[in-house]
Amino acid sequence: MKVLVTGGLGFIGSHTVVELQNEGFEVVVVDDLSNSSEDVLKGIEKITGKQPVFEKIDLREKKDVQNFFKKHEDVTGVIHFAASKAVGESVENPLLYYENNISSLVYLLQGLQQKTEASFIFSSSCTVYGQAEKMPITEDAPVQAAMSPYGNTKQIGEEIINDTAKVTNISAILLRYFNPVGAHPSAEIGELPLGVPQNLVPFITQTGVGLRQELSVFGNDYPTPDGTAVRDYIHVVDLAKAHVIALQRLLNKKNLAKVETFNLGTGKGSSVLEVIHSFEKVSGKKLPYKMMPRREGDITEAYANTDKANNVLGWKAELSLDEAMASAWKWEQKVRNK
Ligand code: NAD
Ligand code: WQD
């Protein structure tokens, strides 16, 4: 079975390509390399013994997407990762985000609706819940007014898929990721943020290797046990495996709803200080950090109720925060010592 993975050279996409190939899927990757590099193909090959087919395409180019579907007629399954994902940048340049994240999605769905049957998996985000009222967050918690254009593209994306699935042959699964972290345990692939990392874990590992002086902890006056904000950090390898299971579910579908939504998290909340302590434990290094005011737009806490993913999808996160931090640290050291 041939499957298209858009954004397949990015952080989550590359780990998913590995798991798909391990399960015997034939993978075609589409990526425009705007936030990744072709070297990732070699990393995937080192782990799985095989490179996926790679097409360098910018999914904003409608003609190129149409030509892709003509060339790869047998592609009826798509896992759609490709998107711009920096929250702050989306506030500065909303149209870049609306164009990239929305037009790509529309062109892909247009390509798929020509098929007799098609499966679509969408990278959504826990950001759609905003600051949810109840923890842990279930999938039926209300979607709240988006806090950024980036977050809005995920909400609009979900709506586009819901509307389209109703009237086409496309069945879809929306996966709402909590906070993906870590790297493949081989350290052949991992996260490679451009410039100064905005996310906690890459900032920590870059501080660990001496690339950054110290970590700023954004806020220690939150109403949480230690005062720092709480998130659900999920190992990227666990996350990647969920995509394979979701794809298999769509392919074996027997009277499934046209669109299903699942939270992907561990179900456990960890504070910023707990993440720092986990890093210190697995690396044996003391992390320099200072307390700073809250970051604008941040929420207090978010962690997933994973019952639906566990019981309906049949997937459960297996790796711990320590394992995630150890893999992120191994990857960071390898990248910097090249
Ligand atoms: P990433 O930036 O590492 O990967 C995205 C890939 O898509 C990159 O390789 C990039 O080059 C490619 N891409 C972007 N625009 C493209 C275009 N127009 N045409 C072709 N390729 C294009 O990001 P990631 O962390 O792997 O995230 C993957 C998906 O998961 C995104 O949709 C993101 O919004 C979503 N998500 C990520 C997180 C997170 O914290 N990493 C959390 C929730 C949801
Ligand atoms: C985690 C915690 C920070 C950096 C973002 C997006 C969200 C989703 C995942 C895609 C927070 C604190 C961080 C630092 C810190 N992406 N922190 N010092 O904010 O939960 O979510 O990524 O969908 O949409 O908003 O993740 O890793 O940025 O922050 O103290 O230098 O770490 O304040 O409490 P976040 P994050």
Give, as one character, the DSSP assignment of residue 8: T
Complex ipTM more than 0.85, yes or no: yes
Evaluate: CB of 184 within 6 angstroms of ligand 1.
no
- For the stretch 94-124, pLDDT in tens is 999 999 999 999 999 999 999 999 999 999 9
Active site residue 150: yes
The residue whose CB lies within 8 Å of the most ligand 1 atoms, and thus the one to mutate among 18, 34, 122, is: 34
Indicate if the pLDDT at residue 239 is higher than 80: yes
132 contacts: CB under 8 Å, gap ≥ 6: 141, 144, 302
For residue 9, the CA-to-ligand 1 centroid distance in Å is 9
Q: Note the pLDDT of residue 253.
A: 80
User: Which residue has a Cα nearest atom 24 of ligand 2?
Assistant: 127
The residue whose CB lies within 8 Å of the most ligand 2 atoms, and thus the one to mutate among 200, 263, 275, 276, is: 200
* Alpha-helix residue ranges (DSSP H) falling in the chain: 11-22, 39-48, 62-71, 87-92, 94-98, 104-112, 149-167, 200-208, 236-251, 272-283, 307-308, 321-336
Q: CA 308, CA 264: separation in Å to the nearest integer?
A: 9
The ligand with the least distance to the CA atom of 289 is 2
Report residue 329's pLDDT band, with 50, 70 and 90 as the boundaries: very high
Q: Which of 61, 59, 111 is nearest to 81 (CA)?
A: 59
Report residue 318's pLDDT band, with 50, 70 and 90 as the boundaries: very high
Q: CA 55, CA 32: separation in Å to the nearest integer?
A: 8
Q: Is the pTM of this model over 0.95?
A: yes
246 contacts: CB under 8 Å, gap ≥ 6: 121, 173, 175, 262, 313, 315
DSSP notation for 30-91: EE--TT--THHHHHHHHHHS-PPEEEE--TT-HHHHHHHHHHTTT--EEEE------HHHHH
- For the stretch 157-215, pLDDT in tens is 999 999 999 999 999 999 999 999 999 999 999 999 999 999 999 999 999 999 999 99
Q: Which of 235, 242, 333, 233 is nearest to 284 (CA)?
A: 333
SS3 222: coil
Give the active site residue among 97, 107, 129, 150. Answer: 150
Q: How confident is the model over 48-69, as a mean pLDDT?
A: 98
The ligand with the least distance to the CA atom of 153 is 1
Q: Note the pLDDT of residue 188.
A: 98
- For the stretch 125-138, pLDDT in tens is 999 999 999 999 99
Report residue 257's pLDDT band, with 50, 70 and 90 as the boundaries: confident
SS3 132: coil
Q: Are 189 and 332 in contact (CB under 8 A)?
A: no
Indicate if the pLDDT at residue 254 is higher than 80: no
Q: Which atom of ligand 2 is found nearest the CA of 177?
A: 23
User: Which residue has a Cα nearest atom 1 of ligand 1?
Assistant: 10
Average pLDDT over the chain, rounded to an integer: 97
Q: CA 206, CA 224: separation in Å to the nearest integer?
A: 26
Report residue 225's pLDDT band, with 50, 70 and 90 as the boundaries: very high
Q: Note the pLDDT of residue 54.
A: 98
Q: Note the pLDDT of residue 255.
A: 67
Q: Which atom of ligand 2 is found nearest the CA of 299?
A: 34
Q: How confident is the model over 235-245, as a mean pLDDT?
A: 99
Q: Are 274 and 258 in contact (CB under 8 A)?
A: no
Evaluate: CB of 21 within 6 angstroms of ligand 1.
no
Torsions phi, psi of 156, nearest 5? -65, -40
Q: Are 164 and 170 in contact (CB under 8 A)?
A: yes
Evaluate: CB of 204 within 6 angstroms of ligand 2.
no
Q: Which atom of ligand 1 is found nearest the CA of 191?
A: 3
Q: Which of 79, 77, 97, 68 is nearest to 16 (CA)?
A: 79
Question: Percent of the chain scored above 90 by pLDDT?
Answer: 97
Q: Which atom of ligand 1 is found nearest the CA of 150?
A: 34
